[in-house]
Amino acid sequence: MHKRGDNVLLDQDVFALGRRDFSERFSVSKALYGRSDEIRKLLELFDLARGGEGINVAVVTGASGLGKSALVNEIRRPVQMRGGIVVSGKFQPNSNTPYSALIEAMHQLVRYILTESDGM
């Protein structure tokens, strides 16, 4: 690549693809790292529940920003592929409503059911 003032001339032999490419938007990778054990465990619990072996409740705990929501989001698709649905709720430390996270999750579930096709 030769540069002459403002004009850039491309030489086919030395032009390296992508050398001047850049994104105008800053974006962070959505990949989740180091959570394969937790994901497997949650999917195992889902499979047990689906197989009729009782109701399993998994509570995801951890400090803010640790990746609880990211973990739950990660199992949405595999659960959906298995015919399930993931609903979630978050316990807010300053909430005055008991069981607020369960209520939030149930709201999501009811909304989902109401928007489902009735098969007609």
Q: Pick what 62 binds: ligand ATP, Mg ion, none; C-beta below 5 to 8 Å, kind-dependent.
A: ligand ATP
> Considering the rule CB under 5 A, would residue 69 count as an interface residue with Mg ion?
yes
Contacting range for Mg ion; rule: CB under 5 A; set: 31-39, 42-50, 65-73, 100-108: 65-73
Minimal distance, residue 69 CB to Mg ion, in Å: 3
**Residue in the block written with tokens 């803010």:** 64
Q: Toward Mg ion, which CB reaches closer, 15 or 91? A: 91
Residue 36 or 69 having the CB closest to Mg ion:
69
Rounded to the nearest whole angstrom, what is the least distance from the CB of residue 89 to ligand ATP in the complex? 11
Altogether, the residues listed in the chain come to a count of 120
- Report helix angle 68-81 to 36-50, nearest 10: 50
Task: For the chain, report the end-to-end CA distance as a whole number of angstroms.
Answer: 64
Residue type, position 58, single letter:
A
| Other beta carbons within 10 Å of 96 | 6
Site residues for Mg ion per CB under 5 A: 69
